[in-house]
């Protein structure tokens, strides 16, 4: 019988998501990779338990996680819940998303229609054996569906009791502002946008999404904080055969130039001076942005989760340290 760590809430930092009443852990677990069919269920379960034991309460999924076997990450998470974690459901924030291609035909392709979003959420709840999710996201902006329709579909999920809050993902500042206006007219509990963000991917700063979100009371729960593993020590001495770049399982392989390696090594030295790993510095840098509520980490083994949560043990970055990091990044 699974018994979680009694001290799991003592060291994790919890941040209010926008102006909502919901608090999220500063570090959350994403189940995009290594939780679907073909991955070890025992390892996936150990990762979920390790995360929860460390105070990670948010588990982030999507209908298509487990690709190419869409839905299998949710199925496996349902099995993990059944094996001792479901008793702690009310201590968890379980989220899912819909928006990318999911099933055959016009109603399961990449879109934001009411038909697709409603059917997808029902499928997700069935796979995880849940009555509701805490946050239901539209996964990616759909220019072919009126935003009013997408917003009404998400609002309807709350009114049906199938979601407590709603969110969006991969929306820029203008798209976020427009759907926010609709949600406020509907009085929908819209609380979060989930964009990509890292030291090496700062589009939300150029777009102004982070400032807009902070000013308008919307939380940001960011993904790909380690830029597909580049912001770790894995590639500082070459490309391991079992890495994402080594397997060709990432789109950023051609970015690992000598100039990039020089920056990464300098950042690694800077992290060491703070008593941190490069990955921990990368997470600390993200969390220093006041607009960020939570950073979503991925993992292939429990030890990585432990390492990432240890980010919170170091003092927050000072303004002077952030300036030094900026100089390194600008090269």
pLDDT of residue 77: 98
Condensed to tens digits (0 to 9), the pLDDT of residues 261-280 reads 999 999 999 999 999 999 99
Does residue 331 lie within any of the structural domains?
Answer: no
Rounded distance between C-alpha atoms, residue 248 and residue 1, angstroms:
39
Encoded tokens for 46: 């150990």
Least confident of 126-130, 162-166, 182-186, 248-252: 248-252
Does residue 321 lie within any of the structural domains?
Answer: no
Condensed to tens digits (0 to 9), the pLDDT of residues 82-106 reads 999 999 999 999 999 999 999 999 9
Least confident of 35-39, 67-71, 241-245, 322-326: 241-245
Nearest to 219 by CA among 11, 12, 4, 18: 18
Q: What single DSSP character describes residue 84?
A: I
Pairing relationship of beta strands 292-297 and 27-30 according to DSSP bridges: parallel
pLDDT of residue 241: 60
Which CATH number does the domain housing residue 172 bear?
3.20.20.100
pLDDT of residue 245: 63
Nearest to 162 by CA among 154, 172, 151: 154
Condensed to tens digits (0 to 9), the pLDDT of residues 183-199 reads 999 999 999 999 999 99
What's the rounded mean pLDDT across residues 43-51? 98
Condensed to tens digits (0 to 9), the pLDDT of residues 142-176 reads 999 999 999 999 999 999 999 999 999 999 999 99
* pLDDT confidence band for 254 (50 / 70 / 90): confident
SS3 category, 294:
strand
pTM: 0.95
Encoded tokens for 144: 């072919």
Rounded distance between C-alpha atoms, residue 80 and residue 75, angstroms:
9
The alpha carbon dihedral of 11, 302, 229, 31 has a sign of negative
Greater confidence, 253 or 299?
299
CA dihedral 282, 41, 249, 137 (to 10 degrees): -70
Give the chain's domain count. 1
The range of the structural domain enclosing residue 43 comes to 14-233+281-316
Q: How many residues does the chain have?
A: 331
Rounded distance between C-alpha atoms, residue 262 and residue 264, angstroms:
5
* pLDDT confidence band for 67 (50 / 70 / 90): confident
Does residue 146 lie within any of the structural domains?
Answer: yes
Encoded tokens for 140: 């990616």
pLDDT of residue 1: 87
């Amino acid at each position: 019988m699974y018994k979680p760590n009694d001290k799991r809430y003592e060291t994790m930092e919890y941040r209010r998501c926008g102006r909502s009443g919901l608090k999220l852990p500063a570090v959350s677990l994403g189940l995009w990779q290594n939780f679907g069919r073909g991955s070890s269920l025992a390892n996936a379960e150990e990762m979920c338990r390790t995360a929860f034991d460390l105070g990670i309460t948010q588990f982030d999924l999507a209908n298509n996680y487990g690709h190419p076997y869409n839905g299998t990450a949710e199925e496996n998470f349902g099995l993990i819940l059944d094996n001792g974690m479901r008793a702690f459901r009310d201590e968890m924030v379980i989220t899912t998303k819909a928006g990318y291609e999911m099933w055959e035909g016009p109603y399961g392709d990449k879109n934001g229609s009411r038909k697709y979003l409603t059917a997808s959420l029902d499928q997700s709840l069935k796979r995880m054996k849940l009555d509701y999710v805490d946050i239901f996201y539209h996964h990616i902006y759909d220019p072919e569906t009126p935003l009013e329709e997408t917003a009404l579909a998400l609002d309807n999920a709350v009114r049906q009791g199938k979601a407590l809050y709603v969110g969006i993902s991969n929306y820029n500042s203008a798209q976020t502002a427009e759907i926010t206006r609709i949600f406020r007219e509907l009085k929908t509990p819209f609380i979060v946008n989930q964009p990509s963000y890292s030291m090496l991917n700062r589009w939300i700063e150029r777009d102004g999404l982070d400032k807009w979100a902070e000013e308008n009371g919307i939380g940001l729960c960011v993904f790909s904080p380690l830029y597909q593993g580049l912001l770790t020590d894995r590639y500082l001495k070459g490309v391991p055969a079992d890495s994402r770049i080594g397997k060709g399982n990432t789109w950023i392989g051609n970015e690992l130039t000598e100039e990039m390696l020089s920056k990464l090594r300098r950042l690694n030295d800077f992290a060491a001076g703070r008593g941190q790993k490069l990955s921990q510095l990368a997470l600390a840098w993200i969390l220093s942005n006041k607009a960020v509520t939570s950073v979503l980490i991925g993992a292939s083994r429990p030890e990585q989760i432990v390492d990432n949560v240890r980010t919170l043990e170091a003092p927050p970055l000072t303004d002077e340290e952030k300036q030094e990091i900026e100089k390194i990044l600008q090269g």
